[in-house]
């Protein structure tokens, strides 16, 4: 159970974490808002409407900012909280009573765990719902179109292309689906449609794929193979054509980069999809392992930084906090190096994410004897 001082430290950790996030995001909004102000005020809407749109978009962008900075803030908060305890001499009565310094790690680890749970909730629940808006043009929302770049389905050998994409209804205007032989068709065929709309899979009803409207040439004139007949067919009571493929609108809209905003189950499904290129799958596997190991990395970093902030031989609090920040930067450098080794296929992705954890845990145990007592 937490005693009174534990609850005091936990409240201080949470309040400091929130203050740091609000202040850093506020600074980001000010700098980014002034830099991109022209994109919000170039339309014919009034200033009030433009400011309202700007506020709504930055409210959604807070989710992405929290996902990027939450890990660092959760660890830096520990440095600040311990620094304040030492500066205000609140820790000396505890040490005089014979309470070990590492006893303070309990509420700090609990606070870091709460911060990580908030990051998990943000990643799994909030970020996927606002992902399309985050990739849309500033000031225009989901209704604005985006120029499309071709995307390849490597399983069925379909090239998806078109003029513009619209996130509001997950559609492609003037879509072109190029079918290469001999997987789906006997000869090279291009299905041109006025509009293609993506539909996710519904178990027991239909697979994931695209509904093509006003298609040329007609499906009767396309020489489909047996596999093609299973994946390309006319919908009942309609002239529309359905092309079953695992290439989703998210992948088309972001050219494969939208896995950053996918939920963990969706990410696992994507890395097992044969429709993606091996290079894309390798990046996603590394990102998946990093996401799963992120809470452990943050907790190990907390235990590593405690002896540097509360070093028994340090005579300057500022120096101790600066050294702790330098150690944190070093840990981030090790993590980036491990990711590079995994990207270069020198080590496997699952081993790469454990390199900073193993190094951080070993150093935390090594320097534990230097903590203030």
Closest by CA to 256, choosing from 122, 179, 184, 153, is 153
Number of domains, the chain: 2
What's the pTM?
0.82
Is position 125 within any domain? yes
Is residue 257 over pLDDT 60?
A: no
CA dihedral 264, 270, 272, 277 (to 10 degrees): -140
Tell me, yes or no, whether 10 and 134 share the same domain. Answer: yes
- Mean per-residue pLDDT for 58-78? 94
Over the stretch 92-104, which tens digit does the pLDDT of each residue have?
Answer: 888 888 888 888 8
101 & 44 share domain: yes
Instruction: Find the mean pLDDT for residues 156-165.
Output: 93
- Domain match, 127 and 170 both: no
Q: At residue 234, does pLDDT exceed 80?
A: yes
Q: Where does the pLDDT of residue 139 fall: very low under 50, low under 70, confident under 90, or very high at 90 and above?
A: low
Rounded Cα distance between 292 and 252, Å, is: 26
Together in a domain, 171 and 202: yes
The verdict on 178 and 78 lying in the same domain is no
- Domain end marker among 237, 254, 271: 254
Mean pLDDT of 51-58: 86
Residue 291 included in any domain:
yes
Q: Can you give the pLDDT at residue 256?
A: 54
243 is in which domain, residue-wise? 150-254
Residues 16 and 114 in one domain: yes
Phi-psi map region of 276: left, alpha, beta (phi>0 left; psi -120 to 50 alpha): beta
Q: What is the pLDDT of residues 265-307, one digit of tens each?
A: 888 888 887 777 777 788 889 999 999 999 999 999 999 999 9
98 and 162 part of one domain: no
Average pLDDT for 202-220: 90
Q: What is the mean pLDDT of residues 200-214?
A: 89
Coil vs helix vs strand at 168: coil
* Residues facing 147 on adjacent strands: 164
């Amino acid at each position: 159970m937490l005693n009174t001082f534990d609850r005091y430290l936990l409240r201080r950790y949470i309040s400091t974490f929130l203050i740091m996030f609000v202040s850093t995001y506020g600074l980001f909004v000010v700098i980014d808002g002034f830099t991109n102000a022209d994109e919000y005020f170039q339309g014919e809407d009034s200033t009030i409407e433009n400011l309202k749109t700007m506020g709504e978009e930055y409210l959604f962008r807070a989710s992405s900012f929290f996902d990027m900075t939450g890990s660092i803030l959760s660890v830096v908060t520990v440095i600040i909280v311990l620094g304040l305890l030492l500066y205000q001499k609140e820790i000396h009565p505890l040490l005089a009573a014979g309470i070990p310094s590492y006893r303070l790690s309990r509420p700090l680890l609990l606070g870091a765990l709460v911060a990580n749970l908030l990051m998990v909730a943000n990643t799994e629940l909030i970020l996927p719902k606002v992902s399309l808006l985050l990739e849309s043009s500033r000031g225009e929302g989901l209704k604005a179109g985006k120029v499309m770049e071709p995307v390849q389905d490597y399983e069925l050998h379909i090239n998806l292309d078109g003029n513009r994409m619209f996130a509001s209804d997950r559609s492609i205007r003037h879509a072109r689906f190029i079918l290469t032989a001999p997987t789906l068709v006997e000869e090279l065929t291009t299905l041109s449609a006025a509009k293609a709309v993506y539909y996710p899979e519904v178990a027991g009803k239909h697979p994931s794929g695209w509904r093509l409207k006003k298609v040329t040439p007609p499906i009767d004139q396309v020489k489909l193979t047996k596999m093609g007949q299973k994946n390309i067919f006319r919908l009942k009571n309609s002239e529309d054509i359905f092309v079953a493929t695992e290439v989703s609108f998210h992948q088309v809209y972001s050219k494969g980069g939208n896995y950053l905003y996918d939920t963990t189950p969706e990410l696992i499904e994507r890395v097992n999809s044969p429709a993606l290129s091996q290079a894309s799958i390798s990046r996603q596997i590394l990102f998946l392992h990093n996401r799963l190991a992120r809470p452990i990395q943050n907790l190990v970093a907390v235990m590593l930084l405690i002896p540097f902030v509360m070093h028994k031989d340090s005579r300057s609090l500022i120096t101790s906090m600066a050294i702790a920040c330098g150690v944190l930067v070093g840990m981030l450098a090790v993590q980036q190096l491990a990711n590079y080794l995994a990207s270069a296929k020198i080590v496997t992705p699952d081993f790469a994410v454990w390199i900073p954890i193993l190094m951080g845990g070993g150093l935390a145990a090594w320097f534990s004897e230097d903590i203030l007592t």
